Each structure stands twice: as structure tokens, then as C-alpha cells.
Copies of this chain bind each other. A is one copy, B any other.
Amino acid sequence: MARRRDATMEDVANHAGVALSSVSRVLNDHPDVSDRMKQRVMGAIADVGYEPNLLASSLRRGSTKTIGFLASDISNPLFAEIALGAERRLDEAEYTMVLTNSEGSGERDEEMIRLLRWRRTDGLILSVSDERRAGTLVELARLDVPVVLIDRDVKGLDDASVVTSDHARGMRSAVDHLIELGHTDIALISGPRQLRPARERLRVFRRAFRDQQLEPPEHLLRIGSFSAQSGEQATLDLLASDRPPTAMIAGGNLLLTGVLRALRRRKLTVGRDIALVSCDEVPLTELHSPPITVIARDAVHMGDLAAELLLERLVGDAEPRRAVVPTSLIVRDSTKKARRR
């Protein structure tokens, strides 16, 4: 591990007895290079064990072939799948992904965006932790590279592409489904209003009731964080209330685990004692007993799309645009039986 000085293009040039620029041309497949030159240079490269220094070429070219990715928590399967989809697509286009976590903190959102700017990433894929934060907008405004937001609406940021999912449609089907089963005391446990998915779900949740001439059960709304702990607490709270829900909607996979923990503690059986719908498909929803009805979307595809929208602007210099990923309600036994009180 003795940091021996790496061979540079100059070493190659000397070894081959040619000019530095010729080496560069060979390496970059410049049209005007004789076969003989190519041979000599390639030979020398092998001889001296040359390896390109992407740092130097990035500096000179003004492009790093690197994309920054920011999410609150990569260990959340939702973000992990998005990251996977994005990385795959970017890799095809020879871009490398730099991963950062904001740990749900708006302050870290800012820090990370600044860091990525300083590192001169060619573009950003962001799912910020707080859409409303002024500082984040400032950091974003300083950026002069394309940005793609994932399931976020940042007011004032007009030149970003956006990949959203159609939460409205999914939530609408879920509520309609529950109402049709006879439920009206439906609880919604969701994340903070600073985030688009939570806002959308809440909006459509209420709307769905009104459209059926029903009053939305405001007392059954629980807006907290997206964590398991928050889900567990909210559920215990709901169950202890005067008029507990006969059905619940959990707005995310972490919330779901919290909800299930709480139900287990209260010895309630999903599907029999209480109906349950969750958002985002994970192994648990499919393999739970009974299987859990879920508002699903293709997270890997969202990542893929985000990368695609970015590449459009990077390579094809297209305009920013919005893409919407569909959601669909997968009905399972957790909502099969109706229960009226």
C-alpha cells in the first residue's frame, strides 16, 4: 500500500516517444489518429500500467459524470428501490451515483445539496425531507445543474423535473373500497404535511368522503412522522379513543410496522377486528396473515424514470418535465370483511 506514484499520460507519452496530446487523442478515440499511433500508445499504456485519472479529466472537461442522490434514509426499502432503479439507469449512461442521507433533517438537506454542488456533480436526484424549508430553496437556487425531484413539490423551484406518483388515484380507490365495505370510521396515519405524499393522501382522503356525502373523520387523522414509532404511537392512541376506527390506512411501510406492532399489543386481529390498508408493497404486506391490502407503485421504476429525466437534460438538453407513476390498489384479505359497530 506504499502509495507509489501512479503512471500518468506523460509517462505513457515518454515511454512511447510521442506527444502527450497524442496519448489523449488515442484515449478519447479522436478521429485523426493513425493505426500505428494507436498501437504504440496502447502498448505504452500497458507497459507503464497507466490508469486514467478521472479527477483531472473532470476538472478539465467541466463535467464529472457523477450524479448526486439525496434521500432521508436509504435503509427505507422505498428509497433503496428508487436508488437501485436510478443507479442502474445512470450506470448505463456511464454516470456514477453519489449517495447521501439527510436522516430526515431539513438542515442536512441543505448541507448535502451544498456538498454535492461543491463536488460539481452534473445533476441531482432529490427527495428532500422538508419541501417548505427556505434554506433548501436557497441552496437549490445556487445550483446550475439539472435537478429531478422525487415525489416532492418545492414551490419556487420551477426549472426542476419531477417524478411523482399518483397518490390521489391510489388513495381514492382505497377509501372508496373501505366505504363500500361499510366502513366510515376510517383512520389515516400519515407523515408530515411538509411532504407531498402525505399532503396528497390527506387531501384525497377527505375528498373521497365528501364526494360520497360523508363527513371526513377528522378525529381519526394522525399526522406525524413516517417512522415506525410514530405509527405505533398513533395506533395505540386511536385504539384508546372514544370512538376507535374500524379501518385504518397506514401511509408508508415504516408506519405499517408500527401499526402492526400496536395491533398485536392490543391483541387485535387484522381483517377480523379491524380492516387495514397500507401504502407501498413490501414483503410484509404480501406475506402477513392475512395479507395486507396495499396501494402499490413501482419504486424501482420511479428511480429509473428520475434518472431518465435527468439524462434527457444532461445529454439531450431537453426541458424539465413531470412524470407521474401510477398507483394501484391491490385488494387482499386485510380488507375483505366488513364490520359495523
What is the interface of chain A, defined by CB distance below 8 A to chain B? 1-4, 6, 49, 51-56, 58-59, 64, 66, 69, 73-77, 80-81, 83-84, 87-88, 91, 96-101, 103, 115, 117-120, 142, 144-146, 159, 253, 256-257, 260-261, 264, 282-284, 286-289, 300
Is the pair A83, B87 in contact by a Cβ cutoff of 8 Å? no
Is the pair A80, B75 in contact by a Cβ cutoff of 8 Å? yes
Name the CB-closest residue of B to A228: B283
Is the pair A73, B84 in contact by a Cβ cutoff of 8 Å? yes
Is the pair B51, A118 in contact by a Cβ cutoff of 8 Å? yes
Name the CB-closest residue of B to A289: B289
Name the CB-closest residue of B to A4: B144
Find A59's partner among B56, B99, B103, B284 (CB 8 Å cutoff): B56
Is the pair A55, B119 in contact by a Cβ cutoff of 8 Å? yes
Is the pair B54, A119 in contact by a Cβ cutoff of 8 Å? yes
Find A74's partner among B1, B56, B80, B100 (CB 8 Å cutoff): B80
Residues of B within 8 A of A146 (CB): 1
Residues of B within 8 A of A284 (CB): 282-284, 287-288
A253–B80 CA distance with the chains assembled, in angstroms: 15
Is the pair B54, A120 in contact by a Cβ cutoff of 8 Å? yes
Is the pair B96, A115 in contact by a Cβ cutoff of 8 Å? yes
Residues of B within 8 A of A120 (CB): 53-55
A2–B253 CA distance with the chains assembled, in angstroms: 40
Find A101's partner among B6, B87, B261 (CB 8 Å cutoff): B87
Find A75's partner among B81, B100, B288 (CB 8 Å cutoff): B81
Name the CB-closest residue of B to A159: B1
Is the pair A101, B118 in contact by a Cβ cutoff of 8 Å? no
* Most chain B C-beta atoms within 10 Å of own C-beta, residue among A3, A49, A66, A283: A283
Is the pair B88, A84 in contact by a Cβ cutoff of 8 Å? no
Is the pair B64, A75 in contact by a Cβ cutoff of 8 Å? no
Closest 8 CB pairs of A and B: A99-B99, A289-B289, A75-B84, A80-B80, A75-B80, A257-B283, A284-B284, A75-B81
Is the pair A144, B1 in contact by a Cβ cutoff of 8 Å? yes
Residues of B within 8 A of A253 (CB): 283
- Shortest CB-to-CB span from A242 to chain B, Å, is 28
Residues of B within 8 A of A256 (CB): 283
Is the pair B3, A144 in contact by a Cβ cutoff of 8 Å? yes
- Shortest CB-to-CB span from A312 to chain B, Å, is 13
* Most chain B C-beta atoms within 10 Å of own C-beta, residue among A4, A49, A119, A144: A119
Is the pair A75, B75 in contact by a Cβ cutoff of 8 Å? no
Residues of B within 8 A of A98 (CB): 66, 96-99
